[in-house]
Structure 1
Amino acid sequence: MGRPPNLYSFRDVDRDLAPNLRRYVLDQQNEAFKRHDVFRVAISGGSLPKTLAKALLAPPNGSDEDKVDFSKWEIFYADERCVPLDHEDSNHRLVQEEWLNKIPKDMVQPKVYTISEANLDDAQETADEYEQKLVAVFAARDSVKLPLFDLILLGCGPDGHTCSLFPDHPLLREQDAWILSISDSPKPPAKRITLSLPVVVAAAKVGFVATGGGKKDVLKKIFETEEGSKLPCVLVNEGAGEKVSWFCDQAATEGVSFPKRSSVI
């Protein structure tokens, strides 16, 4: 790993973290527009969609740099559960309820790529179908080794998992596939699909959002202990280095001595 990831710690989620997360996401949006006039972002579930809504649906400050242009967004899922899209375990349902449904009607909605509901009993088939959606978007005219997301936004589980990549799981060793299936998830539901680790670390930027006192033990492991060196979140840190930024509150970073920043703005 070259330069280490960025760790941001904020006093308050609403007043401090959300505005800084907005600036970070919009910086990546604007850079993506310069590259190819579209913003391709993958997101996970958990508490992330609610925090994203606070960040991105806040009133703009009037500057061009602070304008959200959802009409050029393409949203993918960093992981998804093999359940119907309206199921209570669906990440898509969560993202819809916490964020997408709250986008003002006068704004053009982003394009969202969901899993197919045709073969939910077969996690591998669901993964293969979702990978083909990525191939159609990222490799329409060329043969590419990996899809290059402009931004991937992730959470961090108390066990150090991210996406549906769990500690010590064989999927962490996969090097070729873009989308992986898992049928023995340690957390229910058992059947899921997930981005592979090489896809995550290949992204232009990777942002983690981890808040609350329940995250302080795992963050200390991730940033300060040899014990945490094999955790999926650490593998992302090591693979992507300075491309990674962590957005945390002070409750989550309590006791973490790794150098912390207080603003991206």
Structure 2
Amino acid sequence: MAHPAPHPPILYSFPDAGSLVSSLASFILKAQKEAVEKKGRFTVALSGGSLPKMLSGLIGHPSVKWDKWHVFYADERVVPLDDPDSNHLLCTDTLFSKVAIPPEQIHAIDTSLLDDLEELADTYEKELIREFAQKDAARFPVFDLILLGMGPDGHTASLFPGHALLAEDDRWIAWLDDSPKPPPKRITFTYPVINHALRVAFVASGAGKVEMLRTVLDEPEKGLPSSRVKPVSPGQLYWFVDDAASAAVQYSRTAFKL
């Protein structure tokens, strides 16, 4: 059965980092509230880079129900969890060490499998299956929220321009050993997983993102990895950016309100 056409992305642009961070926190809290009221849990996937520090507006906020969060990684570098390249280490240092998410609800990779990428990816996929399959009975997991960043080449998660994984439409978790940026070995959500989420939010800030953000939003036909994030209905894609990043974008902005 064909899915309805994706909703157009919603672009929010803020004058500075402070207003971006506080608005993103409000947005996440609304998603949390709806998820917890509906099913008693909040399923979130995070990527690395500058994204974890953008979640600082949640730390200490009285409305966050950390005990309801179930956290996965949209992608992860195949390194030990204490390696400086680890997204898990970055998220732990920046966020998890400061909040009260039960450790068993933060799903890191199995580091006993670092030498077997196929098994590592399969094992992480089974983590998703345990969380979603019995509860949601869907072909792909339906996250309440996936939070993504965008690289300077337009990549997102570990989906890179021109890579064969852009066409992967069956597996939930894929692996690669030829990432164009180090480290080369990674696992990543595939587009079917990303695009079945109820909400996907990109976060991008700074003048360094200005040309790539313009290309992704104004020229999606170029097919850059970030442009290929198109959640199927009823899912919705959001962009949380600052005015420095969106300075060249023609795509229409939406005033932020909840």
TM-score by length of 2: 0.92
Structure 1 residue 97 corresponds to structure 2 residue 93: yes
* Aligned equivalents of 2:137, 2:251: Cα separation in 1: 40
Structure 1 residue 181 corresponds to structure 2 residue 175: yes
- Quote how far apart the aligned CAs of 1:139 are: 1.2
Structure 2 match to 1:11: 15
Structure 1 residue 49 corresponds to structure 2 residue 52: yes
Structure 2 match to 1:243: 236
Q: Which runs of 4+ in 1 moved over 6 A?
A: none
Q: Is the 8 A contact 1:4 1:242 kept in 2?
A: no
Aligned residues: 253
AA aligned to 2:198 is A
Partner SS for 1:253:
coil
Structure 2 match to 1:136: 130
Partner SS for 1:140:
helix
Structure 1 residue 40 corresponds to structure 2 residue 46: no
Structure 1 residue 193 corresponds to structure 2 residue 187: yes
Segment drifting more, 236-245 vs 176-185: 236-245
Instruction: Extract unaligned runs of 5+ from structure 1.
Output: 61-66
Q: Is the 8 A contact 2:35 2:42 kept in 1?
A: yes
AA aligned to 1:79 is D
After TM superposition, list the pairs within 5 Å mapping 1:1-265 onto structure 2: 1-14=5-18, 16-52=19-55, 54-60=56-62, 67-103=63-99, 107=100, 109=102, 111-140=105-134, 144-225=138-219, 229-237=222-230, 243-265=236-258
Q: Is the 8 A contact 2:198 2:231 kept in 1?
A: no
- Quote how far apart the aligned CAs of 1:108 are: 5.3
* Aligned equivalents of 1:263, 1:139: Cα separation in 2: 34
Instruction: Extract unaligned runs of 5+ from structure 2.
Output: none
- Quote how far apart the aligned CAs of 1:241 are: 8.9
Partner SS for 1:248:
strand
* Aligned equivalents of 1:132, 1:194: Cα separation in 2: 14
AA aligned to 1:136 is R
Cα RMSD, aligned residues only: 1.8
